[in-house]
Amino acid sequence: MNGLMIDLNSASGVPFHRQIVEEVARRVRAGELQPDAPLPDTRDLAADLIVSLATVRQAYSVLEALGIAAKGPGGALVVADHADRASREKAMDETCAVLAEAVARARSLRATEALLEGPDAEHLVESADLERLAREVELASGVQSRLLPERDPELAGWDVSGLTIPCREIGGDLFDYVPCPDGRIALAIADVTGKGVPAALLVSTLHTALHLLLCENLPLNEVMGRANRQFHLSTPENRFAGLFVARLDPASGTLESVNAGQDPPVIVCGSGDVRVLRKGGVLVGLFPDFEYEVEVSRLEPGDMFAAFTDGITETRSPWGEEFGTGRLVKHLESRREAAAREVARSLVEAAETFSGGAHASDDRTVLICRREVAEV
């Protein structure tokens, strides 16, 4: 077995050099390949995989061009310092391309809205066209899932976890954790207007912009301002996004945040108080030159921060009553000492139970951050 544990699939239709690139990128994202880890010698890998030396060299050239690999001491190729970010950006670019192709094909078939909204789409186009479009949507869904965090961040004294449940094959919600150069961590949650493939394309674009901007360590209001301008320029006039972005300093518990039209996150304090984070500004994409406001909070030991999309709060019971923020806060208060992952999952389940098990009409996304109480 080769050093990268790669099993090439000759029946997939994907060139071997691309399969090598994909496997290295996947292992980098999963944390299995750390910066400065040496990649196998090209001749050794070619012999292990039973492929030509040119194939391996081509794969390594692509990895180097993407910033996933770099020349190490003596000229050998190693995993680059910022390979994880480069790998995620690669996945984001692929997602945008795949989703764009699916949207373009759907529009050419005049079936985008019918496929996503109506029950009679099969009467508009040939079944073969619908099957091909369904395969593209399935592929886009798989690629998009790679943009979500593969694991929760490990922060001493903190418990952070998120969960998103799309109401369709592809979602228009986003949550993410982005390590910052200064040791802080950014927490983000977003909800793009619309559903299905078009919304997923837009949320992928927003996701890419956030990663690039947050890694530059810009002031948070400038991050939001630039993301807003980019989103406005790259999307139709009737498409917007609710977006909440925060930077957490794990050492002090300071939380800087900007809320751009998102459902206001809440902080359920160990003391019993509840704070709502409203400061920020309008929806992303609404006004390209809007100046956002930063809010500064502090999480004390025992406090829980929760961000969520309106797919939770606007869930309706069989009698038409909304789940609402009040029920959400009570649910959080009753689980203040539970693990963040359990809190996120139980909140989504509570909304589903409240609806009587009805099919969700919107994506449901939750992001929980707890500051743990130090053991005596």
Query: How far apart, in whole angstroms, are the C-alpha atoms of residue 255 and residue 20?
Result: 40
pLDDT given at position 122: 46
DSSP H or E run through 138? helix 127-145
pLDDT given at position 292: 96
pLDDT given at position 113: 45
pLDDT given at position 339: 94
The token pair that represents 69 in the structure block: 């690999």
User: Each residue's pLDDT tens digit in the chain (376 positions)?
Assistant: 356 667 787 666 667 887 888 888 888 877 888 888 899 888 888 888 888 888 888 888 878 877 888 888 878 889 888 777 777 666 666 655 555 555 555 544 444 444 444 554 444 445 555 565 566 566 556 555 666 787 899 899 999 999 988 776 566 788 999 888 888 999 999 888 766 666 666 777 777 778 778 877 789 999 999 888 888 877 766 778 899 999 999 999 999 999 999 999 999 999 889 999 999 999 998 888 999 999 999 999 999 999 999 999 999 998 989 999 999 999 999 998 899 999 999 999 999 999 887 877 788 999 999 999 876 5
Q: How many helices (H) and strands (E) does the chain have?
A: 11, 13
pLDDT given at position 246: 96
Query: How far apart, in whole angstroms, are the C-alpha atoms of residue 189 and residue 160?
Result: 13
Pick from 221, 251, 204: nearest CA to 93: 204
Over its C-alpha atoms, the chain yields an Rg (Å, rounded) of: 22
pLDDT given at position 115: 47
pLDDT given at position 143: 57
Torsion of CA 119, 121, 123, 124, to 10 degrees: 150
pLDDT given at position 194: 64
Domains in the chain, CATH or no CATH each: 16-81 (1.10.10.10), 84-143 (no CATH), 153-371 (3.60.40.10)
Query: How far apart, in whole angstroms, are the C-alpha atoms of residue 320 and residue 323?
Result: 10
Half-sphere exposure of 164 toward its Cβ, with a 13 Å CA cutoff? 26
Contact between 241 and 284 under an 8 Å Cβ cutoff? The reply is: yes
pLDDT given at position 7: 78
Alpha helix stretches (DSSP H) within 149-254: 196-214, 220-234
pLDDT given at position 101: 56
Contact between 262 and 189 under an 8 Å Cβ cutoff? The reply is: yes
Q: Tell whether pTM > 0.75.
A: no
Q: Is 208 helix (H, G, I), strand (E, B) or coil?
A: helix
pLDDT given at position 171: 63
List CB contacts of 143: < 8 A, sequence separation 6 or more: 91, 94, 95, 98, 99
